[in-house]
Amino acid sequence: MESSSEHLSISVDVSEGISTNYQRIVEHTLGSLFRNHCLVDQPISLHLTLKENEEAILVSSTATDRYSKSRFDWDDLFADGLIIKNDNGSNDYISTIVYLVNYLQEYGAKPHDSLGRFGFSQSLQYNFNCVEENLVLSHFRRLVTEFNINGVRWKQQSSRIFVSHDIDTIHGGLLQDGFYALKKGRFDILLQLLWNEAMARPAWFNLDRIMDITSEYDVKSTFFWLVNQHRVEIEGRSLRNSDYDLKNRKVAEQIDRIKNRGFEIGLHKSLSETNFSEEMGHLALDHRSNRNHFLKLSVPAHFDALDAFEVEIDFSMGFAEHFGFRNSYGLPYRPFHPVKGRAFECLMVPLNVMDTTNWTYMKLPKSEMQDLIVSFIEKNKNDAVLSILWHNNYFSELKYNGYLDVYKFVLDYCRQTGLTGITQSEILADY
C-alpha cells in the first residue's frame, strides 16, 4: 500500500442520539476504505448527525436505531432499493456501506440449510440481483464526491486474482471417473484407473499437473488441505472430510513440492469438532490461513473462532450457490463486530468464483459458465482481489470434462487483460 495511506488519520464525531458503538464501526469501516482506495494528504475529520446540518453528514435514524438494538434484517432498511434512505429521503451512504461490508445481514439470520449456512436466496444481493457489483466501493466514491471530502486522490489499481484449490479427495477418481468410463463403455480407461490406483498413482493426485498448468499463466496458487478423514453426520446427512492421510509419505512429499515451487498451502477446516489450532498443528503452515470445508460457517461465530485461534487470513466468505460478492465488496477486509464494538483480527478475503457453484447449483452449460465468469471479472477488473477456487477433481477430463478448459480460458483472459496473480503472503503484506 502507498505510504500516504498507511498512516491515515481519520476521526468521526457524532451528534446526540448516535451511539459510541456506531461511531466506532463507521470509523473502522471508512478508515479501511480510505486506506485501500485513496491517497490522503491530510487528516480526515467527519461529523455525523441525525438532523439536517450543512456542516455534517446526515445518517438514518432508522439505521442507527436498528444498530443499537442489534436488529440487522435488511428488508425494511432497503425498502427503497440498494441504498438506505435518510429521514428526508436523501441517500445514507455511510449506513449502507457499514451494513454491507461488515456482513450485518447475516447476524441473527436463520440457517438456510442443514449445514447452518446463510443462503444466497436469503441475501439482499439475490433479491436486488446485485451480487456481481462492488456496491461498497460505488457508494464510497459517491460519499467522498458528494460531501467534498478534501485531500483525497483515488488510487489507480488493477484487480489481482487469487487462485486456490481445495483438496477434498485424491482417491475419488477411481469411483467417479470409473463410473463415467463405464457408462461410456470405455473399459480401457477403467482399467487404467484401476492400474493407477494399484500403483498408488490415483487419478486425482494431480497437483503437480495443476501447478504446471497454473504456472503457464504466471500465477502461484494455494492448496487447502483437510487433516481429518472420518465422515461426519450432520442433520441426517453423512458427509465426508478427506479420503487421504497427511502422514502418507507421498502426500507429505507432494506438500513439500508445492512449497518448493513457490506455491502455498493452507488449512481446509474440516467438518469435525476439532478446532483450528488442533487441525493447523498437522500442517507446516507459513501463515495461519484457512477455508472451511463445504463453506460451512455462520456469522459471527466463524469470525469469533478464527480470532480465538489466531487465524491470520480466511478465504471462506463466498456464496456456495452463486458467483460474486457476499459482502458487496471486492478487497480483503477485517469486519467489525457490531455488538462487541471491535474489529476482528483475521483478514477475510472474498471467495468469488467456484467450480462447484456451477456443478451443484447453477448447472449452466460450460460455455455459459465461462462467459458469466469472464463478465464478472470484466465488471470488476479494477479495485478488487478476485478469488477463484478450482478443486483438483475438476481438472479431470472424464466426469468433469470441460472444466479444465474453463479454468484455462479464465486464467488466459486474466493474463490478456493485465490482471496478475496474488498469493496469500502478498495479501497479508498489502492489507
More confident residue, 5 or 412: 412
- Give CA–CA dist 411/405, Å, rounded: 10
Indicate the domain borders of the chain: 3-154, 160-170+205-430
DSSP codes joined into one string, 188-229: HHHHHHHHHHHTT--TT--HHHHHHHHHTTT---EEEE----
At residue 4, the pLDDT reads: 53
At residue 7, the pLDDT reads: 64
Region 40-62: what's the mean pLDDT? 90
Mean of per-residue pLDDT scores for the chain: 93
At residue 6, the pLDDT reads: 59
Region 355-361: what's the mean pLDDT? 96
Region 75-88: what's the mean pLDDT? 93
At residue 1, the pLDDT reads: 41
Region 62-78: what's the mean pLDDT? 94
The fraction of the chain above a pLDDT of 70, given in percent, is 98
Q: 14 — phi, psi (to 5°)?
A: -130, 150
Region 172-195: what's the mean pLDDT? 80
Task: Write out the three cell numbers for 343.
Answer: 474489529
Helix axes 135-146, 20-37, angle to 10 degrees: 100
Alpha helices in 273-387 (DSSP H): 276-280, 301-308, 355-356, 366-379
Stated pTM of the model? 0.94
- At the fourth CATH level, the homologous superfamily of domain 160-170+205-430 is Glycoside hydrolase/deacetylase (3.20.20.370)
Region 74-103: what's the mean pLDDT? 95
Q: Is 237 helix (H, G, I), strand (E, B) or coil?
A: strand
At residue 3, the pLDDT reads: 41
How does pLDDT run across 34-45, given as a tens digit for each residue?
Answer: 999 999 888 899
pLDDT for residue 5 is more than 60:
no
Region 188-216: what's the mean pLDDT? 88
pLDDT for residue 250 is more than 70:
yes
Q: Which residue type does 84 have?
A: I
Place 208 in a pLDDT band, splitting at 50, 70 and 90.
very high
How does pLDDT run across 214-237, given as a tens digit for each residue?
Answer: 999 999 999 999 999 989 999 888
What lies within 8 Å, CB to CB, of 279 at 6+ separation is 227, 228, 267, 269, 270
The Cα-based distances of 149 to 38, 45, 54, 141, 370 in angstroms read 11, 9, 14, 10, 40
Place 2 in a pLDDT band, splitting at 50, 70 and 90.
very low
Where is average pLDDT lowest: 23-32, 86-95, 193-202, 232-241? 193-202
Place of cell 465422515: 231
How does pLDDT run across 281-296, given as a tens digit for each residue?
Answer: 999 999 999 999 999 9
pLDDT for residue 363 is more than 70:
yes
Max mean pLDDT among 7-11, 173-177, 181-185, 318-322 falls in 318-322
Region 183-187: what's the mean pLDDT? 83
Can you say whether the dihedral through the CA atoms of 163, 167, 170, 173 is positive or negative? negative
Place 180 in a pLDDT band, splitting at 50, 70 and 90.
confident
CA atoms within 13 A on the CB side of 127: 13
Place 349 in a pLDDT band, splitting at 50, 70 and 90.
very high
The fraction of the chain above a pLDDT of 90, given in percent, is 83
